[in-house]
Structure 1
Amino acid sequence: MTGAHRRTARLGGVGAAAGLLAALLVGCGADAGAGGPGAAEGGDGGGGAYPITVATAQGEVTIGSAPERVVALGFSPADELISLGVDPVAVAVDPATLEEDAPWLVGPLTEAGGEGGLEAVTAPELVTGDGGVDLEAVANARPDLIIAEAYQVQDAAAFERLNAIAPTVTPDTDALNPDWDERLLSTAAALDRTERAQELIADLEAEFAEVGAQVPGIGERTYQWVRADETGYVFGNGSLFDLFGMRPAENQDNTQTAASLSLENTADLDADLLAVWAPSGERREELESDPLFQELPSVEAGTVYFAGLDFANAINSPAPISLRWLRDELAPVVGALE
């Protein structure tokens, strides 16, 4: 499928974990529903399609009735639910760091919390500092459906423990970070909202293509997406840029299986557009004073994008709201390719 498939990583508590998640995975707006947390009005099937059986990476999961209390164990699950018109009752994000970690979710989650606002729906205790799931905290949320991140249930035992609390859904793939459209369709299937998901996918593809269409020869323009470490550059999955109509540079590793690029080979960052995340301010300053980096084609052309933690989280947690945020973030630098 066409899409941005990225691995997600989660540092102490959810906020710190978000930074770790972005670091590991770069290294390896839809309207909010108006019915308050858990509301799921107006689904494709109106609730009459249940029980529904959904294929997951750990086997089939049956959801007996239309969910009323859905728990989201990360940025993407929350984004998907809200985009599909369902307000989660609990989301594994930290309200204290959400503006830094995932600013695109602040407004939608505040609305989803109703009169209680952001605090009513955010539940950082659902996950541990290393990105694991706190089963007791999840059970205390009394879910009747859990939307998890794929990496959280990679082994059967972890999945079974979570699924024993409530039906647990992730895409039917072994990938740690599935394609964004595959994620969305998986969540939609559990909610009987596949038609809505298909509409969102078509809309998003058209919106990105519209931005790319402003650039002559966009199909020949190349991209690279890297994290700038002290010892070199680590390729992340940049297939998000495919949505603009661009193509990966020859050495761009969207599979995240190749070796990192050493500092002496900085010149190999020769794409038309370079997106680079320097996890610290000091590393950013080093790049800005590094003659090898400053001689890169994208730097000289003004088509380098310096990413922050929010961008790294967005590209690693792709869903409709974060994708629209990314589109708006990247539109100026994509447009500069002219």
Structure 2
Amino acid sequence: MPRPLLRSAALVAATLTTAGALAACGSGDDGSAADAPSSSTGGGSGAFPVTVSTAFGDVEVPEEPQRVVALGWSDAETALALGVQPVGASDWLAFGGEGVGPWAEGRYDEAPEIVETLEPSLEAVAALEPDLILDTRSPATEERYEALSAIAPTIGQPEGVDAYLTTWQQQLDLVGQALGRTEEAEQLRSDLEQRIADAAAANPGFDGTEVAVGAYSSEGFGAYVRGDTRVDFMESLGFTNKQAVQDLATESFFVPVSDEQVALLDAPLTVVFPIFVEPSQITGNPLWQTLGSVQQGNAVLLDETLANAFSSGSVLGTGYALDNAVPLFAEALQG
């Protein structure tokens, strides 16, 4: 999971409940526009100017972007999926290097400048001379949006969507519009949705099966509710989020689970994501061992890479999770 220097940002975004300061997180050297790579923009299918509707109003992108800075969670992966290489990007999950997961590796000709996450340096962003800023899944404050918009046209989350809750479909649509690649975005969306439908059809036992989707960190256990990419993914496969967990939902997509409430994670299928902890800290936890789903072999503890694929919430990461997690779920249900 994320390295210590970036843990506070990723944990806030991953849970929105963890106590801790919303401090600015590590970034690479600011760099200069002259030293930064140019975005790859060949093959765009849209005519410019284009207007993109967001929670902060309509945003006009006057011409095909040549220098894209991707600041929102998985915005860089989404741009890469559409064939555009950002010159700057935030590394929310602290992958290091190019700032993307293994499902998106090899898509850069030259690594982008890495920019802070929760509080990106405006000077660093401006130095990259962007003509488009992507910020579709982020803290989503008016102040952040206005500051970034003063540098370049900025694409925030869709109207009616709270911080960090932009779905991979919405993100793909927004980024596709802004880059003039709506046809490519529609094709990627259609392809992945078909793959998900095929996986659900191939596993009829998923349909209607209750699932508890949890996490474990140094703060203890917690559970996700609808609106989180992890739960939404599970329900797209036919699962139903455990009602007792869903009943605890607030404005956050994450529910703390006290030691006395750990039984909330017991379900016909339990899926748990480690956050900044080794899997052994979960499997060796006496509370984990009390769950009926664990005792019966119906619990799945994801490894770091697969947990990050789910957490990325991008079209590429979701595809990776689909290929690698569905067999684990099917095996657990047979156990």
Distance across 1 between alignment mates of 2:8 and 2:38: 25
Does structure 1 residue 146 correspond to structure 2 residue 142?
no
Query: Which of these residues, 157, 170, 195, is aligned with residue 182 of structure 1?
Result: 170
Change (3 A) 1:212 1:296: farther
Distance across 1 between alignment mates of 2:77 and 2:286: 40
Q: CA RMSD in A?
A: 3.1
For 1:20, give the aligned amino acid.
L
Distance across 2 between alignment mates of 1:153 and 1:187: 16
Change (3 A) 1:243 1:96: closer
Query: Which of these residues, 2, 8, 11, is aligned with residue 20 of structure 1?
Result: 11
1:304: how far off?
A: 2.0
Map 1:214-253 → 2, pairs under 5 A: 214-229=202-217, 232-236=220-224, 237=228, 238-253=231-246
1:101 and 1:309 in contact (8 A); partners too? no
Query: Which of these residues, 271, 290, 299, is aligned with residue 294 of structure 2?
Result: 299
In structure 1, the residue matched to 2:326 is 331
1:330: how far off?
A: 1.0
Change (3 A) 1:281 1:185: closer
1:122: how far off?
A: 2.8
Deviations along 1:139-182, one digit per CA (max 9) or x if unpaired, are 11111101014334412x32121111110002323411212111
Structure 2 length as normaliser, TM-score?
Answer: 0.79
247-256 or 68-77: bigger deviation = 247-256
For 2:45, give the aligned amino acid.
D
For 1:294, give the aligned amino acid.
Q
1:297: how far off?
A: 3.5
In structure 2, the residue matched to 1:314 is 309
Does structure 1 residue 171 correspond to structure 2 residue 162?
no
Identity value in percent: 30
307-316 or 201-210: bigger deviation = 307-316
Distance across 1 between alignment mates of 2:96 and 2:298: 28
For 1:249, give the aligned amino acid.
K
For 2:78, give the aligned amino acid.
E
Does structure 1 residue 193 correspond to structure 2 residue 181?
yes
Change (3 A) 1:16 1:272: same
Q: Which has the higher helix share?
A: 1
**Count of residues paired in the alignment:** 305
Does structure 1 residue 256 correspond to structure 2 residue 256?
no
Map 1:43-122 → 2, pairs under 5 A: 43-45=44-46, 49-93=47-91, 97-98=95-96, 102-104=100-102, 107-108=105-106, 111-112=107-108, 114=109, 120-122=110-112
Distance across 2 between alignment mates of 1:26 and 1:193: 36
Distance across 1 between alignment mates of 2:93 and 2:253: 34
1:305: how far off?
A: 2.3
Distance across 2 between alignment mates of 1:305 and 1:100: 29
1:315: how far off?
A: 3.0
Change (3 A) 1:102 1:309: farther
Structure 1 length as normaliser, TM-score?
Answer: 0.78
Distance across 2 between alignment mates of 1:50 and 1:81: 17
